[in-house]
Amino acid sequence: MPEPLLELEGVVAGYGGFTALFGVSLRVEPGEAVAVIGPNGAGKTTLLRVISKLVPTRAGRIRLDGRDLAEVEPHRIVELGVAHVPENRRLFPRLTVEENLRMGAFTPKARARFSERLEEVYALFPRLKERRGQLAGTLSGGEQQMCAIGRGLMSAPRLLLLDEPSAGLAPVVVQQVFELVRRIARSGLTVLIVEQNVQQVLRIVDRAYLLEAGRIRGEGPAAAMLASEEIKKAYIGL
């Protein structure tokens, strides 16, 4: 079996005295789009924060391209090719769209290709090009999400971590965001997406893991998960 781009083995993590993840193991192959689905409070956001080293592991191992991340300092994660688009977007509201995008290209390697990456992001998100001089805090929710994803792409990542990209958006905008994520995934970029909108996300990824109460309770091809009666009843309301 080829080396996965990302592999977690028995990861335990949490905050203070609270444990959020209990022995989580998963793998993401190069070029694959993988979703982690599950209810609120399952540990999905913590999982992404552990991968990007915002939350330390208490046990277990995380490897990126076979490299153990235990010795890697958090600020070097972006240099290794991981971009994390956080929940609630976390833009700089008083900076323009283009200034926010520039913030995503802060590593020396990304700075050297800034103009090229900027044109690629604007080709993917023409709306952002129209709004390039507008303050990010004045954008609509959907435009802010585009800007947040665009900022993540500015570092030319090998692995894009997306945390609840549909959260708080109107249904019609949710469709647009998922279509953009589908296009990004089909371009060959490896994507790990955490999402509560189970029905939508399972239509755009290759595989999925079900995370409940900090433990992986199931995994499989997205189509099989979408057809699962158990998942339909619990998460899709059918």
- Positive or negative, the Cα torsion across 57, 61, 66, 71? positive
- Residue with tokens 């585009």, as numbered in its chain: 146
| pLDDT above 70: residue 237 | no
| pLDDT above 70: residue 90 | yes
Q: Where residue 25 falls among pLDDT bands split at 50, 70, 90? A: very high
Q: Would the pTM count as exceeding 0.85?
A: yes
What are the structure tokens assigned to 23, written together? 């022995």
Residues 6+ apart with CB under 8 A from 73: 53
- How far is CA 1 from each of CA 10, 27, 95, 192, 234, rounded to the nearest angstrom? 20, 12, 45, 20, 33
pLDDT on residue 238: 47
